[in-house]
Amino acid sequence: MSEPIPQLISVSNARQPNAIGHHVELRGWLRTRRDSKAGLSFLEMNDGTSLGNIQVIAPNELPNYESVVQRLTAGCSLRVYGTVQESRGQGQATEVVATQVELIGPADPETYPLQKKRHSFEKLREWAHLRPRSNTFGAVARVRNRICRSIHDFFQELGFLYVHTPIITSSDCEGAGELFRVTTLDPANIPLRSDGQVDYSQDFFDRPTFLTVSGQLEGEIFATALGKIYTFGPTFRAENSNTSRHLAEFWMIEPEMAFYELKDNMDLAEAFLKRIVQDVLDDCKEDMHFFNDRIDQTVLATLHNVAESTFHRISYTDAIKILEQSNQKFEYPISWGCDLQAEHERYLTEKEFNAPVVLFDYPKLIKPFYMRVNADNHTVRAMDVLVPRVGEIIGGSQREDRLDVLEARMQEQGLLPENYWWYVDLRRYGSVPHSGFGLGLERVVQFITGMPNIRDVIPFPRTPGNAEF
Ligand code: ATP
Ligand code: MN
């Protein structure tokens, strides 16, 4: 009888008991090699499909045992043929007895950075080209992927339309002046007008343009035509803040819904976060146990709590009262009219409620022009969702749908309605109450994995002074 044709299989699948007895081909990278006195080598092999490795047993009868197998080093790539069998060792269901081991690409042990010892996350950032091969970053990449799938599933199942909003824009949605400029003008030779100002008529787009800070305004265009939409794309903010939760380039999910008022918006945000959390708990068990063991021992309990709890909803005004009465020493003192700092957000969600909190009805003075003004004329229909450790994870609002109020708000904030003529038109023609929010993808990944720094939950972080890779 001839040998069965080997079946190409992932490490993840080879680790399942139903692979036992199969003749397989594995492709991946070597994590470690251990030679036993009994004339065998144990190869821990990983291909990124799961946190756990497959253990390959290479017997010394292999023709290249001495010339190749015993010289394999961490990081090299290899192909293995063999048979999956029940493992006699602890901690794994299966192992593979090799009939053939091929070295594909060697990794010089003198210089390969990811040796067995553990490296700090700071150090690993310098090796962003190799860090996905480490346990932590492999697990982050898989969880991040699962979250993205969950995001699309959630909205698609509810009939939301996925819309692509532009990356290059001439409007500043947040009005916060944290924009990256996009230009083809030569910095060494900027054309000037007779009044000394930059002559943008010579620039590519015939006007100043920037990388988008949010797709919301364009999202509203589609929501007020197609009902329920969401965007999911990169967003850029030139905030010169070196914090553990800010990036200069991050991914944002922004649903926008016609006929939704603030309460509908909160309900959607809560269901959305719970769905993501539940999907990760269901489908990323091995990775999540790793995070819980190695990164943050509260992570699983927090996620179960989020999936099961009802989010607390309190007004900004009530939140300020709680903070003022808390007797807590804050670095930034707090009073009505101030924007909350991370420390205040965390106090509310970690200490006061020990659950996610939705704050709503913020002072109009600290919020952008597009948020709907309440009858009290002091607050706007804004909402932020706060979660333990991370603080603000979602920011959203019911939008101002009244033409006259919107124009007045723009003027108050020094914006010219003419520059936003198309946005204002949405209130002129068939205006409807509508709402939406923005969820920062990296903040969710950070929250779910427990990773302390946002730079370690995106493949290639962009922060002040860092844009290598
Ligand atoms: P923060 O107050 O935390 O700086 P923000 O109020 O400026 O955030 P929004 O404009 O409301 O943020 O953006 C919506 C969401 O995008 C936030 O809730 C957050 O999840 C995410 N986000 C905002 N800025 C950043 C950033 N620099 N890096 C990563 N995520 C961000
Ligand atoms: Mn916000």
Looking at the CA of 437, which ligand is closest? 1
The CA 437 to ligand 2 mean position distance, Å, reads: 9
Ligand of minimum distance to the alpha carbon of 440: 1
pLDDT at 176: 57
269 lines ligand 1 (CB under 6 A): no
Whether 189 has a pLDDT exceeding 80, the answer reads: yes
Report the distance separating Cα 370 and Cα 84, nearest Å.
Answer: 60
Q: Compute the half-sphere exposure of residue 466: CA atoms within 13 Å on the CB side of its CA.
A: 16
**384 C-alpha vs ligand 2 centroid, how far in Å?**
6
For the residues 452-463, what does the mean pLDDT come to? 97
Residue 366 near residue 337 (C-beta atoms within 8 A) = yes
Residue 77 β-bridge partners: 29, 105
Q: Which of 247, 253, 443 to mutate to test the pocket of ligand 1 (most atoms within 8 A of CB)?
A: 443
For the segment 329-351, the average pLDDT, to the nearest whole number, is: 95
Residues 213-254: tens digit of each pLDDT: 999 999 999 999 999 999 999 999 998 888 999 999 999 999
The minimum-distance atom of ligand 1 relative to the CA of 438 is 14
Mean per-residue pLDDT of the chain: 95
Phi and psi (nearest 5°) for 176?
-100, 0
Protein residue with its CA nearest to atom 3 in ligand 1: 392
Name the residue with higher pLDDT: 266 or 173: 266
Distance (Å, whole) CA 180 – CA 220: 23
**What atom of ligand 1 comes closest to residue 443's alpha carbon?**
20
Q: Is the CB of 15 under 6 A from ligand 1?
A: no
Q: Which residue has the tokens 């005004």?
A: 317
* Angle value at C-alpha 330, between 328 and 331, nearest 5 degrees: 160
Ramachandran angles phi, psi of 410, nearest 5°: -65, -45
Task: Say whether pLDDT at 383 is over 90.
Answer: yes
Is residue 438 lining ligand 1, measured as CB closer than 6 Å?
yes
**Tokens 């926008």, residue located:** 256
Q: How confident is the model at residue 90 (pLDDT cuts 50, 70, 90)?
A: confident
Residue nearest to atom 5 of ligand 1 (CA): 395
- Its pTM stands at 0.96
C-alpha angle with apex 131: 128 to 132, nearest 5 degrees?
110
Query: Can you give the pLDDT at residue 177?
Result: 65
Rounded to 5 degrees, φ, ψ at 226 are -115, 0
Question: CA-based diameter of the chain, in Å?
Answer: 89
pLDDT at 174 over 70: no
pLDDT of residue 239: 86
Give mean pLDDT, residues 423-429: 98
pLDDT at res. 181: 94
Q: Is 444 in the pocket of ligand 1 (CB under 6 A)?
A: no
Q: What is the mean pLDDT of residues 342-366?
A: 96
Gyration radius of the chain's alpha carbons: 27
Q: Are the C-beta atoms of residues 199 and 193 closer than 8 Å to each other?
A: yes
* CA gap 410, 356 in Å, rounded: 32
Q: What was the pLDDT predicted at 1?
A: 53
Q: How far is the CA of 440 from the centre of ligand 1 (A)?
A: 6
Atom of ligand 1 nearest to the CA of 384: 18
Residue 237: CB within 6 Å of ligand 1? yes
Distance between alpha carbon 238 and the CA centroid of its chain, in Å?
Answer: 18
Ligand 1 nearest atom to the CA of residue 174, by list position: 10
